[in-house]
Amino acid sequence: MGKSRSRMSQVLSPSNRESWPWPPVIQASAVVHVAAVGAGLLVPGAWPWAIGALVLNHAVITAAGLTPRSGLLGPNVTRLPAGAAARREIAITIDDGPDPEVTPKVLDMLGAHRQRATFFCIAERVLEHPALAREIVARGHSIQNHTARHRHNFSLLGPRGFAHEISRAQQVLEEVTGQRPTCFRAPAGLRNPFLAPVLHRMGLSLVSWTRRGFDTREGNAQTVLARLTKGLEAGDILLLHDGHAARTPQGQPVILEVLPELLARLQADGLRAVTLPEGLSA
What is the model's pLDDT at position 282?
Answer: 65
Task: Read off φ and ψ for residue 222, nearest 5 degrees.
Answer: -70, -35
Catalytic, out of 215, 241, 242, 244 = 241
Query: Do residues 168 and 148 touch, judged by C-beta distance below 8 A?
Result: yes
Query: Do residues 32 and 53 touch, judged by C-beta distance below 8 A?
Result: yes
What is the model's pLDDT at position 252?
Answer: 96
Look at the domain 82-280 and name its fold: TIM Barrel (3.20.20)
Q: Pairing mode, if any, of strands 89-95 and 183-184?
A: unpaired
What is the model's pLDDT at position 18?
Answer: 55
From CA 45, how far away is CA 219, in angstroms rounded?
A: 55
pLDDT in tens, 24-80: 777 766 776 666 677 677 788 877 776 876 778 668 778 888 899 999 999 999 999
What is the model's pLDDT at position 135?
Answer: 98
What is the model's pLDDT at position 11?
Answer: 37
Comparing C-alpha atoms, which of 68, 206, 74, 183 is closest to residue 120?
Answer: 183
What is the model's pLDDT at position 40?
Answer: 72
Is-catalytic flag, 95?
yes
CA distances from 11 to 128, 167, 184, 201, 235 (A): 31, 16, 12, 8, 20
CA dihedral 62, 118, 9, 282 (to 10 degrees): -130
Query: What are the domain boundaries of the chain?
Result: 82-280
pLDDT in tens, 73-90: 999 999 999 999 999 999
Regions of the chain short of the pLDDT cut 70? 1-18, 28-29, 32-36, 39, 50, 53, 57-58, 282
Catalytic, out of 95, 99, 215, 242 = 95
Q: What one-character-per-residue DSSP string does 91-151 give?
A: EEEEES---TTTHHHHHHHHHHTT--EEEEE-HHHHHHSHHHHHHHHHTT-EEEE--SS--
Residues 191, 116, 212, CA angle at the centre, nearest 5°?
40
